[in-house]
Structure 1
Amino acid sequence: MELSSDEHNNFSLARFESMLKTNNVLFFDSEEFEDIVHYYLENGKIALAKKATKLGLEQHPSSTNLKLFQIEMYIFEDKLELAEELLDVLSLLEQSNEEIYIQKANIYSRRDNHKEAIKLLEKALEITDDPVDVLSLLGMEYLFMEDFEHAKLFFMRCLEEDEEDYSALFNVVYCFEYLEEHEEAIDFLNDFLNKNPYCGVAWLQVGKQYYELKKYKRALAAYDFAIISDDSFIGAYLEKGRVLEKLKRYTEAIESYSITLGLDDPTSYALLRIGKCYEKLGNAELAIQFYTKCVEEDGLLDKGWIAITDFYYKNRQFQKALYYIEKAISIDGENVAYWKRYAKINNRLKHFEEAEVGYRKALELGNYELESWLTRGDILTNLGEYEAAVNNFNQALEFYPTNPEIEYRLSGLYFSLRESAKGEFHLRNALKAEPEFLMIIEEIFPLVYRMKKVKQIIAQHKNPSL
């Protein structure tokens, strides 16, 4: 009895792996080696693919396909010169092998020479019997060049060749979206659906375009068709839930998200959205229950920790909010959003030193919002750390030059430090920029506000003739 193709491949793999374990050299024909290498590459087992290619070439040194696999692995390892040398030899022997052009194009693409890669892929397209892969590669090269019009056309041609090439379908829609051609995307998808009416993926994409256009009821109808096409389509239920939320139909959104929990392992996204819906419905107990499930399911999802922290903060349960944001920071100490909340919560709890640390960390991590500079500086001022506050506000001026809120604070600090010349300089800048913000000095630095010199500068600003 003859073995089926899959059984034959499994048998070859088993023999090959047995050979590796025992060090006994077994013979395989070149096609068997090709199937073995292809299997390992498909499954990301690069070391085994290299081993199989090496042994294959030892037994079949003239095999073009095995040499092409070797070249592919050289390119993967960024050994482009080695790959190019082998390709040059092969191209002299085989002028009509499209894979040689494809791999040469791959090298040019790696070197960001996409125009030359396209020329080679066009040659491959002329001689190939299976154009789908080459068309897809051409589309990708145009994407690298951000030529979305041409990329779109090649991915459309992929779909003409293979209507089930969902990767091409996604790429076509991506091009439409990048070009902000949502209406055109809908027209294209509708034409596609006329020939493939039960393609759930296409219905999902139609829904996404209507969502972008804020046509939520039409988006909802498209997602319903996607579900009719495939009632286990998790993505369609999630997108439907998102639209129902936009329409403030929270109970129905919960139902849609909940269906996904029964179709597969719960996703943190679905648990988070269910929690949000319960919060909107005023059901605090269930909201917290689902937020907690969300962070238990995926401790790296920052939106989950932020949701549970913000829930307690809004309900003025600052100690609980602090507990959860500290847990989040213990998991990811480089998250700016966490440190901003940590600072804000500690500030409300009057834990000023901890709040200052939070704002400092947020700034160090690249959060240069004006509010962060101002609040941190005010905390340092209140703690009597005038020099540190001055450094903070001088750094802030680099991002917000001549900002009056910063200038008034620097003026107050310099006068407090008895550096009157600098205090006067910043006070005049501040008054020139925004005289109505003078209350900043009055509120934060009342002693400075009552200084004779400061009163004179303010009076001169109001009446330059003095």
Structure 2
Amino acid sequence: MQFSSNEEENFPISRFESMLKTNNVYFFDSTDFEEIIHHYLDSGKVALAKKAIKIGLEQHTSSINLKLLHIEVLVFENKLEVAEKMLNELMAIEYSNEEIYIQKANIYSKKDDHEKAIELLKVALAYAEETTDIFSLIGMEYLFMDDYKAAKDYFIKCIDEDFEDYSSLYNIIYCYEFLEDFDGAIEFLNGYLDRNPYSEVAWHQLGKQFFAKEMYKEALASFEFAIYSDDIFIGAYLEKAKVLEKLGRYEEAIENYETTLQIDDPTSFAYLRIGICQEKLGNKDIAKQYYYKTVHEDPLLDKGWIAITDFYFKQKNYKKALYYINKALNIDSENVLYWKRSAEINEKLSLYEESDISYQKTIELGNYELETWISWSDILLKLGDYESGIQTLLQASEFYPEEASIEYRLAGFYFLTSQTVKGRFYLKNALRNNFDKHILIEELFPAISKRNSVVNFITEFKNTSM
């Protein structure tokens, strides 16, 4: 009976699993055990890998490779002391085996001693015939230490040995981006493309660097080369579409987003962007349909709910906007963007108590923008809740000290509550920080602005400060 190449490849694994089911004991070569163990480790079946290691070591008690695989599992399970003891024993027998140093490095890495891990990996390099994987491990250790320049240099060594090591290529670009060295990334990618001109991944990454530098024509050309190299590269179509949006070429952008829908399953991101482009083209009904598709495809995508809410908000259809933001809040009640939109919509509908609750929730969820504090205090003014308005603005002043728009409001609230001394104090501070904004008193507190004492105070300040 003849086996196909695939059957021959899987034969040790199927034979091993047959042995486990029948409780019979079969003999395997040590290399067969290595293959079986690697298969289970790669598949995430650690329990089966451990069984194979146990039986393998019973049949091949002196196999260094099986012992190293045993150590690898021990390190994975954080049994570091046992693993280190076994490694020290192996080192006395076979000190020139690079895998021993790699596993010792893994132990030190797990202990957050990355410098010692790097030292051991560099020893492993001296004994290794294939160095790419070790260069990559050293690069990762430098990443753990936030040394992005050194990490980048080691990932470049990986690329020098293997052009198609895309994992290292991504890591190199990650390092450049973290260093905010977009020009360096562009120079590196151009050099890479000189040697590997049909690398869709490199063209794609080059386009992203140009996009970050707002060099949209160059970015567009790069993404087109990526698509030329791989005409089903969804990422390149998406990035190309984003560039076309930036260039105001919305119809072309839509075509590219639609291409991604044809290549693979629909994505909420593509639906959303098509909707935004259609809205910019003035095709409101079509845009609305794509926003509906967005939230249907991914109900957890907040940008989808925000888009459909804003769509109705811009048309001043506040009741419809409120309906959709409430649907969004039913799905995710901890989303700060939803609560902020809810506050704004309720205010437009003169539902000030609901707006007050929404602003309070917005602040509780960590939105401390000046605009949020100001808008909330203005709602409290409309509700006539002056004491809460004062407390809100005092909280805001902790984040934005000497902010005139806060101080004018505090002055107004204090005057409304007959706390004249505090009112004059904050009015004086506000006038000193930004005199031109004193119109806020007239706009928000018209009765206060007409008081002779306030008019005279502002006039006197103006005359003495000029």
User: Given the two structures, how large is their TM-score scaled by the length of structure 1?
Assistant: 0.89
Q: 1:347: which partner in 2?
A: 347
Measure how far apart 1:376 and its partner are: 0.8
Q: What residue is the counterpart of 1:325 in the other structure?
A: 325
Q: Distance in 1 between matches of 2:428 and 2:22?
A: 85
1:310 is matched with 310
Partner of 1:443: 443
* Residue correspondence of structure 1 range 52-131 to structure 2 within 5 A: 52-53=52-53, 56-57=56-57, 62-131=62-131
- Partner SS, residue 340 of structure 1: helix
Question: Is the CA contact 1:9–1:32 (under 8 Å) kept in the aligned structure 2?
Answer: no
The 3 A distance-change label for structure 1 pair 175 and 445 is: same
Q: Please list every run of 5 or more consecutive structure 1 residues that lacks an aligned counterpart in the other structure.
A: none
How far apart, in 2, do the equivalents of 1:320 and 1:55 lie?
67
Change (3 A) 1:415 1:186: closer
Distance 1:61 1:245, change over 3 A: same
Match of residue 283 from structure 1: 283
Match for 2:23: what amino acid? N
The residue type equivalent to 2:121 in the other structure is L
**Deviating more after overlay: 241-250 vs 368-377:** 241-250
Q: Deviations over 1:147-187 (max 9, x none)?
A: 33322222222122211111112222223333344344333
Match of 2:361 in 1: 361
SS in 2 for 1:102: helix
One-letter amino acid matched to 1:235 = G
- Which residues of 2 match residues 39-50 of structure 1 at below 5 A? 39-50=39-50
Range moving further from structure 2, 65-74 or 213-222: 65-74
Distance 1:426 1:158 in 2: 63
With the length of structure 2 as denominator, give the TM-score of the two structures: 0.89
For the pair 1:378 / 2:378, whether they are aligned, the reply is: yes
Structure 1 pair 24/225, CA: closer, same or farther in 2 (3 Å)? same
Distance 1:343 1:171 in 2: 42
* Cross-structure match for 1:24: 23
Question: CA 1:416/1:112 → structure 2, altered by over 3 Å: closer, same or farther?
Answer: same
Q: What's the secondary structure of 1:112's corresponding residue?
A: coil
Secondary structure of the corresponding residue to residue 350 of structure 1? coil
Distance in 1 of aligned mates of 2:324 and 2:56: 57
The alpha-carbon deviation at position 66 of structure 1 amounts to 4.0
Aligned residue in 1 for 2:423: 423
Aligned-partner Cα distance in 1 for 2:159–2:463: 76
> Is the Cα–Cα contact under 8 Å of residues 409 and 441 in structure 2 kept in the other structure?
yes
Task: Please give the alpha-carbon distance, in whole angstroms, between the structure 2 residues aligned to 1:2 and 1:125.
Answer: 42
46-55 or 411-420, larger mean C-alpha shift: 46-55
Residues 373-393 of structure 1 deviation map (CA, whole Å, 9 limit, x = unaligned): 111112122212222222211
Shift of 1:120: 0.9
Structure 1 window deviating more from structure 2 (229-238 vs 330-339): it is 330-339
Partners of 2:414 and 2:22 lie apart in 1 by 79
1:135-146 map, 5 Å: 135-146=135-146
1:402–1:429 Cα contact (<8 Å) kept:
yes
One-letter amino acid matched to 2:461: H
Residue identity opposite 1:43 in structure 2: S
Counterpart CA distance in 1 for 2:156 and 2:325 is: 47
Give the C-alpha shift of residue 339 in structure 1: 1.5
**For each residue in 1:400-449, what CA deviation from the matched residue of structure 2 results, as whole angstroms up to 9, or x when unmatched?**
11222222222332333344443343333323323333333333334444
Q: How many residues align?
A: 464
Distance 1:262 1:60 in 2: 54
- Structure 1 pair 213/461, CA: closer, same or farther in 2 (3 Å)? closer
Instruction: Report the Cα distance in structure 1 between the residues aligned to 2:327 and 2:47, rounded to whole angstroms.
Output: 39
For the 8 Å contact 2:245–2:253, the answer to whether it is kept is yes
**In 2, are the aligned partners of 1:27 and 1:59 still within 8 Å (CA)?**
no
Q: Are the counterparts in 1 of residues 36 and 52 from structure 2 also a CA contact under 8 Å? A: yes
Select between 246-255 and 69-78 the one with higher mean Cα deviation. Answer: 69-78
- 2:337 is aligned to 337
| Aligned position for 1:200 | 200
Contact map agreement 2:275 2:291 (CA 8 A) in 1: yes
Question: Hey, what does 2:237 align to over in structure 1?
Answer: 237
3-state SS of paired residue (1:333): coil
- Alignment deviations for residues 224-246 of structure 1 (CA, whole Å, 9 cap, x no partner): 22222211111111111122212
User: Residues of 1 paired with 2:305 and 2:48: CA distance?
Assistant: 41
Taking structure 1 as reference, are residues 50 and 288 closer, same or farther at Cα in structure 2, changes over 3 Å only? Answer: farther
Give 1:60 deviation, angstroms.
5.1
**What does 1:449-460 align with in structure 2 at a 5 Å threshold?**
449-450=449-450, 454=454, 457-458=457-458
CA distance in 2, matches of 1:43, 1:144: 26
Contact kept? 1:9, 1:36, Cα under 8 Å: no
Shift of 1:345: 1.3
Q: Say whether the 8 Å CA contact 2:325–2:338 is kept in structure 1.
A: yes
Q: Distance in 2 between matches of 1:361 and 1:307?
A: 21
Query: How far apart are 1:300 and its partner, in Å?
Result: 2.0
> Tell me, what secondary structure is at the counterpart of 1:218?
helix
Q: CA RMSD in A?
A: 2.8
Instruction: State the SS of the aligned residue for 1:198.
Output: coil
Counterparts of 1:303 and 1:127 in 2: how far apart (Å)?
Answer: 53
- Alpha-carbon distance between aligned partners in 2 of 1:62 and 1:353, rounded to the nearest angstrom: 78
Instruction: Label 1:140 to 1:410 Cα distance change in 2 as closer, same or farther (>3 A).
Output: same
Matched, 1:388 2:378: no
Q: Which 4+ stretches in 1 moved above 6 angstroms?
A: none
Change (3 A) 1:422 1:149: same
Aligned to 1:178: 178
Q: Unmatched 5+ residue regions in structure 2?
A: none
Aligned counterparts of 1:384 and 1:366: Cα–Cα separation in 2? 25
CA contact (8 A) 1:373 1:392 kept: yes
Q: State the shift of 1:255 in Å.
A: 1.2
* Matching residue's letter, 1:41: L
| Residues in 2 aligned to 1:55 and 1:380: alpha-carbon distance in whole angstroms | 74
Structure 1 residue 371: deviation in Å? 0.9
